[in-house]
Structure formats: structure tokens, C-alpha cells
Chain A
Amino acid sequence: MALTNRQKYLLQLTNQLSQNLIASNNTNTNANDAEVRNNVSVDLPGFDFNAGFNFDFDTETEAPAEPTPTPDSTTLRDVLMDLVNEQVEVTTPFGPVTGTLIAVKSDYIVLIDADGSQVLVRMENIELVSNL
């Protein structure tokens, strides 16, 4: 929708008015600044100033939210598969088990602990996995 010269002039004046208000409040606290910005309004009788435009008077530009990085491993099993032949600690409700992870099967893993004992840990009861 094209604006008439009068509308363009009023728009320009309004922009100047809002910028002056914000500039004059820059020395105030952020709370006051936000209050001024939130409270700016122009009341022109008989004239719909907004006319479908979105006037964003916020002087700060917000950085777009960065997407959360998704790890390559999506399941606990994937994590464990990546740790085969590594020294790991797995925590179960009973307590932690430490050793070298030598196999990951469908519902359990196999560790060799410090004294050479073989330990079968049920995957279902693993609460935490850490690479030592």
C-alpha cells in the first residue's frame, strides 16, 4: 500500500520522536529505557497510523538463537559402541563399575576390571557412562 506524502511525513516525524526519546534516556537504567520504549505511542485522531505496518523501535538487535548441537550418538548403546576398548566407568543403581569395555551386545556390555575379572553389565540398568 503506497503512502501519501502527508503519511510519509508523519511517519518520519514519529520515527524522529521515538529516536529522540530513546536517545535522551540512554543515560538512564535499562529498566527505565525499556519502559520508555514500551510506552511510546502516537495518538492521531482520525488517522490510523499503524496501517498494517509493524514498527519495531527496539534499538538492540538480538542474535538468532543457535541451534543446540546434536551429538552423533543418539542412544546409550551408540555411546557405548564408540567406547569399545576404552577405559570406562558405568554407574548402576548398585554402584559404579570400572574397567575396559570389550564388547557391546544387544542387552549387556562386557568389561574387564582392574584385577582381570570379567563383568557383564545389563544395559537396562546403566544410569551413567563416562570415559576415563
Chain B
Amino acid sequence: MFQETFAAELATHVGSRVEVATDNNLVDGILSTVTPNLVLVIEVNSGYGYGENTTLYLSVDAINFVRFPVAA
């Protein structure tokens, strides 16, 4: 049901809405790319105005948890 590793499981959710928590940040966006060491998230809620989709690279090692919110 679930992949054996965290990165492999994340890779099955590419294109999904995610909330990624690191020690000091919570990134809300669309999961774009997953490699064994890096996660690319297109942030949709940066709070800096319209049309400002920021691309963020997160180290897999820095991630505390990833939440996949259910659609409202």
C-alpha cells in the first residue's frame, strides 16, 4: 500500500497539494518533483500577492512531515 521509503512514497503524490513542515517552516503548495534527496514544491500561498508562485527546493533530510490535506 505504501512505498518502503519516504522519498518513494512522496514521489507517488506528485501533483498533489501538500503542506511540508521543516524545523522552522511550513510550506504550502503543489508537490512538483521528488528525488531521493530533494523535493520541489511550487508554493501557492506565499502571501506576496497574486500570481506569485514561488518554487522551493527542500532537502528531504530537512523535512519533519508532509501533510496531504483533504479537498474542502
Q: How far is the CB of B39 from chain A (nearest CB, A)?
A: 11
B40 interfacial by beta-carbon distance below 8 Å: no
B21 interfacial by beta-carbon distance below 8 Å: yes
The 8 Å CB contact of A106, one of B1, B5, B23, B65, is B5
Chain A positions 101 through 125: 1 when the CB is less than 8 Å from some CB of chain B, otherwise 0: 0010111101001011111111011
Roughly how many angstroms separate A118 CA and B1 CA in the complex, as a whole number? 13
Q: How far is the CB of A74 from chain B (nearest CB, A)?
A: 21
The 8 Å CB contact of B68, one of A93, A119, A124, is A119
> Are B3 and A105 in contact, CB atoms less than 8 angstroms apart?
yes
- A residues sitting closer than 8 Å to B (CB atoms) are 92-95, 97, 103, 105-108, 110, 113, 115-122, 124-125
**Could you show 9 A-B contacts with beta carbons less than 8 Å apart?**
A92-B64, A93-B24, A94-B21, A94-B22, A95-B21, A105-B6, A106-B5, A120-B6, A122-B64
